[in-house]
Amino acid sequence: MTDPTNPSFDLAHLGHVEMLTDRFDESLDFFTRVYGLCLSGQDETSAYLRAWDDYEYHTLKLTRAGTTGVGYIGYRAASPEALERRVKAIEASGTKTHGWTKGDPGHGPAFRFEDSFGHVFEIYWQTRRPELADADKPALKNLASRYHARGACPRRIDHVNLLSDDVAEFRRFMETCLGSRVTEYIQLDNGRLGGCWFTVNNKTYDLACTEEHGRGLGRLHHVTYATDTREDILRAADIFLENGVHIETGPHKHAIQGTFFLYVWEPAGNRVELANAGARLILAPDWEPVCWTEADRRKGQAWGLKTIDTFQTHGTPPVKKQEA
């Protein structure tokens, strides 16, 4: 952070995640009615969803597909110039690139590239804000949309968690291509990185990568939206219960990052989380990444909850041999 040309401010924030579903109608019903996102629009292949205080047209692009998992992950740049700088840095890094797309209903031209594990990223500057019908206009003018109070009703997109065979390699990718900084990580006894949490801004993380145990490629562990309070998450647990949604684990508090969490599986099997970080932010410019050892991890989550087995194995798309 001491280099004035340091690229770490080039990307402003995580913009959106494309999630694939082979049960599109059920997934869309889940995300709108139960999870509580807003539908900004829909085309033949995708629904464009946002949380009520997300300022962009969409933060979740839900796409009909023959399988599940993540399509691509988008970050918004801090400026047109910052976008250019990032593209140059990515091209210079030897990373596999897909070149420019013309964007989609939610944003303008985006530059696509890919990590070594098959996850596709895109970065863009031009964005679109949702046009609000009168019924969607908020009472308070500093909100992106009306607080609709439907379903779990999170406030904004928070982060995405990917799986990779080689977290150290993924870390290099994130630092080089996105200019992300590492805030916390898991150091395994065998010397490997077990997981790594990244951010491009003051959020404690906007992307995490944990070790792939299923030999899958380009897999998704989960996508997360943030609620204002922990009570929102306790309430959401009742909503999921009453709607027959599979609650995998939680509510509880993570030791790593200290977020209060709840994990469920949407109808197609993609894991989605609700999380609350309280007032925790990474404000220190010289934040020292926090190292968690296997010994630390054996204590369980913050209040002792043991990690559930499926949390180590279930990702999307599923891997045949791994999961029953």
Q: Which is nearer to its own copies, 62 or 82 (CB)?
A: 82
Q: Binding string, 165-194, against its own copies, x = CB under 8 A?
A: -------------------x----------
Nearer Cβ to its own copies, position 32 or 201? 201
CB of 186 to its own copies, least distance (A): 12
Exactly one of 284, 298, 321, 324 binds its own copies (CB under 8 A); that residue is: 284
Which of 142, 190 has the CB closer to its own copies? Answer: 142
Which CB sits closer to its own copies, 36 or 318? 36
Span from 73-81, 92-100, 116-124, 213-221 in contact with its own copies (CB under 8 A): 73-81
Question: CB count, 10 Å around CB of 251?
Answer: 19
Question: Which 82-121 residues touch its own copies, going by CB under 8 A?
Answer: 82, 85
Instruction: Supply φ then ψ for residue 177, to 5 degrees.
Output: -85, -40
Question: Rounded to an integer, what distance in angstroms lies between the CA atom of residue 229 and that of residue 278?
Answer: 7
Q: Is 257 in the site for its own copies (CB under 8 A)?
A: yes
The yes or no reply on residue 9 touching its own copies (CB under 8 A) is yes
Tell the smallest beta-carbon distance from residue 254 to its own copies (Å). 9
Q: Is 271 in the site for its own copies (CB under 8 A)?
A: no
Beta pairing partners, 27: none
Q: How far is the CB of 239 from its own copies (least distance, A)?
A: 5
Can you tell me which of 26, 42, 67, 80 binds its own copies, judged by CB under 8 A? 80
Q: Please classify residue 265 by burial: count the beta carbons closer than 10 Å to its beta carbon, then call 0-12 exposed, 13-18 middle and 19+ buried.
A: buried
Query: Of 95-103, 160-168, 210-218, 283-291, which part binds its own copies (CB under 8 A)?
Result: 283-291
CB of 124 to its own copies, least distance (A): 12
Q: In the window 217-256, what residues touch its own copies (CB under 8 A)?
A: 226-232, 234-235, 237-242, 244, 247-253, 255-256
Supply the minimum distance, in Å, between the C-beta of residue 247 and its own copies: 5
Binding flags for its own copies, 19-58, as an x/- string (CB under 8 A): ----------------------------------x-x---
Minimum CB–partner distance for residue 213 and its own copies (Å): 21
Torsion of CA 132, 137, 138, 142, to 10 degrees: 50
* Listed ranges 2-10, 39-47, 207-215, 310-318: which one lies at the site for its own copies (CB under 8 A): 2-10
Q: Give buried/exposed letters for 138-173 (b at 16+ CB in 10 A, else e).
A: eeeeeebbbeeeebbbbbbbbbbbbbbbbbeebbeb
Instruction: Name which of 120 and 143 has its Cβ closer to its own copies.
Output: 143
Of the residues 276, 315, 316, 319, which one makes contact with its own copies according to CB under 8 A: 276
